[in-house]
Chains A and B, each alone.
Chain A
Amino acid sequence: MIDDIIGTVFKASVAASTIRLATPYIFASLGETLGQRSGVLNLGVDGIMLMGAFFGYYAVLTTESLILGVLAALFIGGLMGLAMAFISVTLKAEQGISGIGVYLFGLGMSELLFQEFVGTPQSVDGFPRISIPGLSDLQFLGLGDIFFNHNLLVYVAFALVPMTAFVLNRTNFGLMIRAVGQNPEAADAMGVSVTRVRYLTVTLGGMLAGLAGASLSIALLNVFQQNLTAGQGFIAVALVYFGGWRPYGVLLGAMLFSFVNALQLQIGISAPEIPSEFAVMAPYVVTIIALMFASKRRERPDALTVPFERG
């Protein structure tokens, strides 16, 4: 049994599923990272993902245009992000709680719309797998299947990691985000509009959450069903803490979580004698344990969840 497990760890297909599973988390967690680095905790990610998933799905279902699908998801995600920003920045509502409200709303609303406009589940022609010429059929260690045989959104998600890191660390916008999250009073005194920055990050975060949902409904699963995300949005928030508010840390967390998940699916086949309940439990346990012993170097924004008031 043990050697079954050892063997499966290095199975190419496990690596490939890891990458697929990680994709929605990467989108959502990167978005959440932006918001939190500017001081806003959005617990409503899952609700926004669900709305993004449905809008993307419905757009593709009706227009058969993937572009429109993505745009629809970005749009609704941005809209809900904007709402979240208004609630937590302008109305200064308790962020943990209002997030739960947004989640419940998204959960119900996406299902409601689905029932109204679609009804019975139908699959859509989502993003096809793009085999990168030359690379995708790379046999060595199955690298081809692992890295070069996914749909477009998967590549986009991974490309977004360095991009987000760059924006945060190397641009003026990023500088403002970090300042606003660390010491809003100072940023304000230097003529940076705390409100504007937070609106931007939270809205952007919403758009990415919407995209995360779409990556499920029109790229990875190509269907929609009630509560399609099955709580992935909450994991995404947790992964931001895991990643220490750093894009690469978030990537690490998403990959670890997804790897263990892919592994447990494989082990369920290779070593069926292990109770599947424990297999399914594994990713969650491993994530906690990993964080227990992870370095405590964190970029925790001092002003996280604290509304800004001048003077």
Chain B
Amino acid sequence: MTQSSVGGMTHQRIDRLVMRGIVKQFPGVLAADHIDFDVQSGEVHALLGENGAGKSTLMKMLYGLYQPDEGTIEVNDSPVKIGSPQDAIRLGIGMIHQHFMLVPSLTVAENVALGMRGIRDGVLRLDDVVRGLLELSEQYNLKINPHTPIWQLAVGEQQRVEILRALYKGAALLILDEPTAVLTPQEVDDLFRILRQMTDDGHALIFISHKLHEVLAISHRVTVLRDGKKIDTIPTSEATKRKLAEMMVGRPVVLEYDKHPVKRGEVRLRLERVSALSNRGDLGLKHVSLELHSGEIVGVAGVSGNGQHELAQVIVGLRPLESGAIYVDGNDVTGKSPAVMNRLGVSYIPEERMIDGVVKEFTVAENLVLQDHAREPFARGGLFMNFKAITEACQRAIRDYEIKTPNTETPVKNLSGGNIQKLILARELSRNPHVLIAAQPTRGVDIGAMEYIHQRLLDEREKGTAILLISEDLDEIRLLADRIAVLFEGEIVGIVDSADADVETLGLMMAGVREHES
């Protein structure tokens, strides 16, 4: 039997897909070690594992981006060779990547049309693509304007485009690699609704996430990977948070921290009606006023693309203000350069670790002194680098912050995500900041590293640092923050004590509903 999709193309429906004895060796890493994995029509099969466990790699092999060194793949019990994404698409396999695969300058419709068979050659005819998209967004009620260029869309919307595209191309099996990392609770519910609808239509789904409660909520079966090995596959009904977490990490893990009450001290950072432009040229921040006291963590919640990025950049001096003023420890630093902010004790853990946080080609040691390279003791007379001092400081940091690296001279690009994050943490905290801006500090790092980073932030809080924790992970914010400010379309819709902030209220605020209204 065949199943037709709006995209106009029909596929052999995927009743069952099996991967057997899959092996993938990367230089230096055995990313997949004889892994068996299977998924059936109508089910959601969750794939769990720490960063680097091999989840994406396994899926990329299924989607034809990598070739397995060993092992076979069968669709409906007949072996298949998936040599390229084309093959995968032809087989009805779709993938929503951890890092979205969209071309910013192209419109939604153009992104969908990209590489479609049938219209591979000749003049662009987007009409039927547009029509198909509208039908689909009708069917799954996913609001989207086919003519908007991608760069104008918020991350959540971009994900919808990814999903619609997969559906349009008639994916019978859809792989979702960490799809919820960037969504509000409501959006997650929305996504789950769609996923269920898809399974009812007979789609087979593979769902990758770090968030255990999501896995428990949506999946029928769970497979856990660790260091490229399959630990086990169990029915979700038999799984609990703690059990899954321990399977992932291989040891018992803390899921809450004991947060000592700290008396909040004087105001360290003050924003007065700060407005700033976004990259799109519109007001990304609108009259944001905020006070940050020493010894407190203020969490900034909100759907990504609602001004978090601009907020952080404005404070550290990377983005000019349109209006308003910023004070650090009482002195006016409005429009000051990052250099000045550094000197005044403002530290920053950037959201885009690889882009803003480190110089990939530089060594661990070099990255550790990015701000202070010209100051004693790292430089003599501000001119000559003192590598002895730098190396020593680096070895200390490696020890203190448990950074996994072969040596101080390894180019950072060869470190793992979590370890790079630890390096940044070491750099920023070692400067004894008065104010710490932590943007998505644990995005894409595994539970082990996450625990560690959280504990460090709490320690800083006790040392009296004023911490602004910008995160899209509500659990994280509620776990750490004393107060929670919610950003929506560049405005703070409200600030609540985390004690009396439940997910629903926050979720509504993140959707723009002011607290008193709710």
Direct touch of chains A and B (CB < 8 A)? yes
CB of A246 within 8 Å of the partner chain: no
CB of B353 within 8 Å of the partner chain: no
Q: Do A175 and B105 touch (CB < 8 A)? A: no
Chain B residue at minimum C-beta to C-beta distance from A188: B85
CB of B173 within 8 Å of the partner chain: no
| Interface secondary structure of A, over-half rule | helix
CB of A288 within 8 Å of the partner chain: no
Q: Do A189 and B122 touch (CB < 8 A)? A: no
Given contacts A191-B86, A191-B89, contact A310 B65 (CB under 8 A): yes
Q: Which of B107-115, B235-243, B299-307, B329-337 contacts A (4 or more CB under 8 A)?
A: B107-115
B101: A residues at CB distance < 8 A: 183, 185-186, 189-190
A82-132 residues at the B interface, CB under 8 angstroms: none
Q: Do B124 and A172 touch (CB < 8 A)? A: yes
Which of B89, B99, B111, B119 has a CB less than 8 Å from the CB of A172?
B119
Given contacts A187-B114, A189-B95, A310-B65, contact A182 B124 (CB under 8 A): no
Q: Do A171 and B124 touch (CB < 8 A)? A: yes
CB of A192 within 8 Å of the partner chain: yes
Among B60, B97, B102, chain A packs the most CB atoms within 10 A around the CB of B102
Q: How far is the CA of A209 from the CA of B369 in the complex (A)?
A: 48
Q: How far is the CA of A185 from the CA of B122 in the complex (A)?
A: 23
Chain A residue at minimum C-beta to C-beta distance from B66: A311
A175-214 residues at the B interface, CB under 8 angstroms: 175-176, 178-179, 182-183, 185-192
CB of B255 within 8 Å of the partner chain: no
B117: A residues at CB distance < 8 A: 191
Q: Do B114 and A190 touch (CB < 8 A)? A: yes
Q: How far is the CA of A274 from the CA of B324 in the complex (A)?
A: 55
CB of B258 within 8 Å of the partner chain: no
B84: A residues at CB distance < 8 A: 191
Q: Do A191 and B85 touch (CB < 8 A)? A: yes
Q: Do A178 and B65 touch (CB < 8 A)? A: no
CB of B144 within 8 Å of the partner chain: no
Given contacts A171-B122, A173-B121, A175-B114, contact A182 B66 (CB under 8 A): no
Q: How far is the CA of A191 from the CA of B88 in the complex (A)?
A: 9
Q: Do B122 and A182 touch (CB < 8 A)? A: no
A4: B residues at CB distance < 8 A: none
A129-183 residues at the B interface, CB under 8 angstroms: 170-176, 178-179, 182-183
Given contacts A171-B124, A172-B121, A173-B121, contact A192 B105 (CB under 8 A): no
Q: How far is the CA of A280 from the CA of B113 in the complex (A)?
A: 49
B103: A residues at CB distance < 8 A: 178-179, 182-183, 186-187
CB of A299 within 8 Å of the partner chain: yes
Among A173, A175, A187, A188, chain B packs the most CB atoms within 10 A around the CB of A175
Q: How far is the CA of A188 from the CA of B114 in the complex (A)?
A: 10
Q: How far is the CA of A185 from the CA of B101 in the complex (A)?
A: 7
B60: A residues at CB distance < 8 A: 311
A280-311 residues at the B interface, CB under 8 angstroms: 299, 310-311
A179: B residues at CB distance < 8 A: 103, 106, 114-115
Shortest Cβ gap from B442 to chain A (Å): 25
Q: How far is the CA of A190 from the CA of B121 in the complex (A)?
A: 15
Chain A residue at minimum C-beta to C-beta distance from B88: A191
Which of B105, B120, B123 has a CB less than 8 Å from the CB of A182?
B105
Given contacts A172-B113, A310-B65, contact A189 B97 (CB under 8 A): yes
CB of B265 within 8 Å of the partner chain: no
Q: How far is the CA of A69 from the CA of B85 in the complex (A)?
A: 42
Q: How far is the CA of A252 from the CA of B153 in the complex (A)?
A: 32
B122: A residues at CB distance < 8 A: 171-172
B89: A residues at CB distance < 8 A: 190-191
B106: A residues at CB distance < 8 A: 175, 178-179, 182
CB of B79 within 8 Å of the partner chain: no
Among B103, B104, B110, B111, chain A packs the most CB atoms within 10 A around the CB of B103
| A contact set with B: CB distance below 8 Å | 170-176, 178-179, 182-183, 185-192, 299, 310-311
| B contact set with A: CB distance below 8 Å | 60, 63, 65-66, 84-86, 89, 95, 97, 99-106, 110-111, 113-115, 117, 119-124
Considering the complex of A and B, which 8 residue pairs feature the smallest CB-CB distances, nearest first? Answer: A190-B115, A191-B86, A186-B101, A189-B101, A192-B115, A191-B115, A183-B103, A179-B103
**A–B Cβ pairs within 8 angstroms, 25 of them:** A171-B123, A172-B113, A172-B119, A172-B121, A173-B121, A175-B106, A175-B114, A179-B115, A182-B105, A183-B101, A183-B102, A183-B103, A183-B104, A185-B99, A186-B100, A186-B101, A186-B103, A186-B114, A187-B115, A188-B85, A189-B65, A189-B85, A191-B86, A192-B115, A311-B60
